[in-house]
């Protein structure tokens, strides 16, 4: 009887395709040497200095204001949402300011796994406003992985398929940009992961204001838990009967 229940449980887990998700994670590298990381609810991360999450809500990573390698980053907020209709990963900051007279580079990645499926469509967008930052540039990139690999173990760890990318260069005293992509096909039974890349060069005393980056997928209809359980028990029963 115990073996019958165990087989039924395994069948149920296989059908739901769910696993324990890793926490929402960020890794960054300033000026190719100052490393930092952050995780939802401050789970340990090992990539340089860990920045504290200020929000205890699961799925929201709030870094507040931080000074990292000459960059003053204010209002740094990141989040994920897992269904029921949409899966979403967001990354934003109110202001990123170069507090030095020289150029500063930043490579950063935010990643989350365990998004439920099935999904068939994916879309993303990015935006921002440059202020006194002429010559600065930023590259936004968007990834999704049907194999559910979590990224951001390093500043450039971005698993899966590159969905889209774009680069904007600052012109003049003030300059804004916004780019949208999709919906485009992306097939995953679930669970799957999504990862955002944000890389920039910021000129001395320059600012990037209201930076926003979002990726979204749909969530298709899945069998109800009761139906899944019954199907799992039926499969287990067949296996048990064959053994007898």
Please state the φ and ψ torsions of residue 99, each to the nearest 5 degrees: -90, 5
Q: What whole-number distance in Å separates Cα of residue 98 and Cα of residue 101?
A: 8
pLDDT at 126: 98
Q: What whole-number distance in Å separates Cα of residue 102 and Cα of residue 99?
A: 9
Q: What is the pLDDT along the chain (244 residues), one digit of tens a residue?
A: 444 333 333 333 334 443 468 999 999 999 999 999 999 999 999 999 999 999 999 999 999 999 999 999 999 999 999 999 999 999 999 999 999 999 999 999 999 999 999 999 999 999 999 999 999 999 999 999 999 999 999 999 999 999 999 999 999 999 999 999 999 999 999 999 999 999 999 999 999 999 999 999 999 865 445 444 443 444 444 444 444 4
Examine residue 115 and say whether the peptide bond preceding it is cis (omega within 30 degrees of 0): no
Structure tokens at 25: 């994670």
């Amino acid at each position: 009887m115990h073996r019958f229940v165990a087989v039924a449980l395994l069948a149920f887990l296989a059908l739901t395709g769910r696993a324990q998700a890793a926490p929402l994670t960020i890794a960054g590298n300033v000026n190719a040497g100052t490393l930092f990381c952050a995780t939802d609810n401050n789970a340990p991360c090992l990539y340089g200095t860990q920045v504290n999450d200020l929000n205890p809500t699961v799925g929201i990573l709030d870094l507040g204001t931080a000074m990292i390698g000459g960059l003053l980053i204010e209002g740094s907020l990141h989040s994920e949402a897992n269904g029921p209709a949409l899966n979403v990963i967001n990354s934003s900051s109110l202001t990123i300011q170069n507090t030095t007279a020289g150029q500063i580079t930043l490579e950063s990645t935010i990643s989350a796994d365990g998004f439920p499926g099935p999904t068939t469509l994916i879309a993303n967008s990015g935006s921002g406003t440059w202020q006194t930052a002429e010559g600065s540039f930023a590259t936004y990139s968007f990834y999704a992985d049907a194999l559910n690999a979590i990224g951001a173990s390093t500043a450039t760890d971005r698993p899966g398929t590159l969905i889209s990318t774009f680069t904007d260069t600052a012109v003049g005293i003030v300059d804004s940009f916004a780019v949208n992509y999709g919906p485009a096909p992306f097939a995953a039974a679930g669970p799957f992961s999504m990862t955002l890349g944000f890389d920039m060069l910021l000129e001395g005393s320059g600012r990037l204001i209201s930076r926003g980056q979002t990726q979204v997928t749909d969530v298709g209809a899945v069998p109800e838990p009761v139906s899944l359980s019954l199907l799992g028990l039926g499969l287990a029963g067949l296996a048990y009967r064959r053994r007898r």
